[in-house]
Amino acid sequence: AQKITQTQPGMFVQEKEAVTLDCTYDTSDQSYGLFWYKQPSSGEMIFLIYQGSYDEQNATEGRYSLNFQKARKSANLVISASQLGDSAMYFCAMREAISQGGSEKLVFGKGTKLTVNP
């Protein structure tokens, strides 16, 4: 079974600065995928970025980038130029098969609470 570890319960960053949120994973699969989600206080999980294990380049989506280090089994999220609206919970997740038919589920870490200070 896949396992996701997020060791930072909370992080603080000044507005306009960059911040890195850590994520390590454990899997015996050769092919896998990693996701980052943002969860504001409203509760909805918002997809941010995805990295496939065979992707040659680190994923980027606007101010979000993923620092993917396969040998270390880490997939850290980097948020550049932090904004006050970035304050939220951030979850790292991994896809896992739930049947032989190709269906999948997400396995989540415990999350990191990011606070952006003005």
Q: Name the residues that contact another protein, by CB under 8 A.
A: 4, 33, 35, 37, 42-47, 50, 91, 93, 95, 98-99, 101-111
Say how many C-beta atoms besides its own lie within 10 A of residue 10's C-beta. Answer: 10
Beta strands in the chain (DSSP E): 3-5, 10-14, 19-21, 24-26, 33-39, 46-52, 60-61, 64-69, 74-79, 88-97, 104-108, 112-117
**Residue nearer to another protein on the CB measure, 11 or 107:** 107
Q: CB of 74: closest distance to another protein in angstroms? A: 17
**Residue nearer to another protein on the CB measure, 101 or 118:** 101
**Residue nearer to another protein on the CB measure, 77 or 93:** 93
Q: Which residues pair with 64 in a beta bridge?
A: 61, 79
**Residue nearer to another protein on the CB measure, 18 or 97:** 97
Half-sphere exposure of 61 (CA within 13 A, CB side): 10
Q: CB of 118: closest distance to another protein in angstroms? A: 26
Q: CB of 33: closest distance to another protein in angstroms? A: 7
